[in-house]
Amino acid sequence: MHSEPDSDFNSPVQDHNVCGQTNSTTDKPNNFKSSTYEFIHYCNDHKDQKYDIKSISNKMGFRQRRFFEVVAVFEALGVCPKIDQDSFLWIGFENIKHTIERIATSRGAFLPEFSLDSIFSYKGCISVQKVTEEFILLFIALELRKINLIEAAAYLARSNEREKTIKCKLYQVAAVLEIANIIRKTDKPSEFELLPEYFISASEKMSPKTPDPSILYSLLSRPEPFCPDVGIPVISSRLNEYYSNNF
């Protein structure tokens, strides 16, 4: 299910250079990539087990701070809910799309009356877990298969002046998601695509379901028009909001 990612992946360590931080010889990109890949496969082979963060971090050759970031990304998507501060339960990747739909529903992404600013109104701590949620939610709320991280950072930082911090965390999150084969890098700089199996169309969720033929006559007799494309102008309006922060 999770194929080896492309060799040009941008690791959190590489992207920390953008943030003015220095690489460590014990935290090289290839080490992070291989450790994360091994971690995913090991846990997928031993599902529904409780893991001690420090023990599994040492086993996979992570620096512990890096490992907490990886766990935070997966926790945001329902892959490994935390049991307590030092342990988690590995459920697996099967729950990701359901988790994405739950997040999008709770934030109003499928409600036509919700503008983009209404959906992305969070002003709390800028954690890796929260940035993961915000990043994935952008794909759904905007109905875009591809997101540019620099544009995403500019939008998410529109009201908190933390663009540099958010951009660094977005690159960290994207590195983990790419290794996990949830997103993939496109041929454009800083652009990533959400894989089809995790994408949800917001406009389809907004549109009424196909009517039962038995009640078609009553629908045709309605005084107001039956409009199955209610989501299209909503998405267009959200896209205008999004790009107005980048130009």
Q: Is position 169 within any domain?
A: yes
Domain stops at, among 46, 72, 90: 90
CATH number reported for the structural domain that contains residue 149 in this entry: 1.10.10
Q: Is position 240 within any domain?
A: no
Residues 184 and 111 in one domain: yes
Predicted pLDDT of residue 28: 54
Q: What is the largest CA-CA distance in the chain?
A: 71
b/e sequence 114-133, b meaning 16+ C-beta within 10 Å:
bbbeebbeeeeebebbbbbb
Residues 66 and 114 in one domain: no
Predicted pLDDT of residue 246: 72
pLDDT digits (tens, 9 = 90+) for 180-212: 999 999 999 999 999 999 999 999 999 765 555
Residues 113 and 80 in one domain: no
For residue 30, pLDDT over 90 is answered with no
Predicted pLDDT of residue 161: 82
Residues 135 and 182 in one domain: yes
At residue 125 the predicted structure's pLDDT band, cuts being 50, 70 and 90, is confident
Q: What integer is the mean pLDDT of 44-71?
A: 93
Q: Is position 16 within any domain?
A: no
Q: Is position 79 within any domain?
A: yes
Residues 100 and 190 in one domain: yes
Degrees to nearest 5, angle at CA 165 with 151 and 234: 35
Q: Is position 127 within any domain?
A: yes
Give the domain range for residue 39. 31-90
Residues 138 and 154 in one domain: yes
- More confident call, 18 vs 234: 234
At residue 93 the predicted structure's pLDDT band, cuts being 50, 70 and 90, is very high
CB atoms within 10 A of CB 226: 10
For the chain, what is the domain count?
2
CB atoms within 10 A of CB 143: 21
* Cα–Cα separations (whole angstroms), residue 141 to 101, 111, 176, 197: 11, 10, 22, 16
Residues 159 and 141 in one domain: yes
Q: Is position 5 within any domain?
A: no
Residues 78 and 111 in one domain: no
CATH number reported for the structural domain that contains residue 62 in this entry: 1.10.10.10
For residue 56, pLDDT over 70 is answered with yes
Residues 145 and 126 in one domain: yes
pTM here? 0.81
Percent of the chain scoring above 90 in pLDDT: 69
At residue 122 the predicted structure's pLDDT band, cuts being 50, 70 and 90, is confident
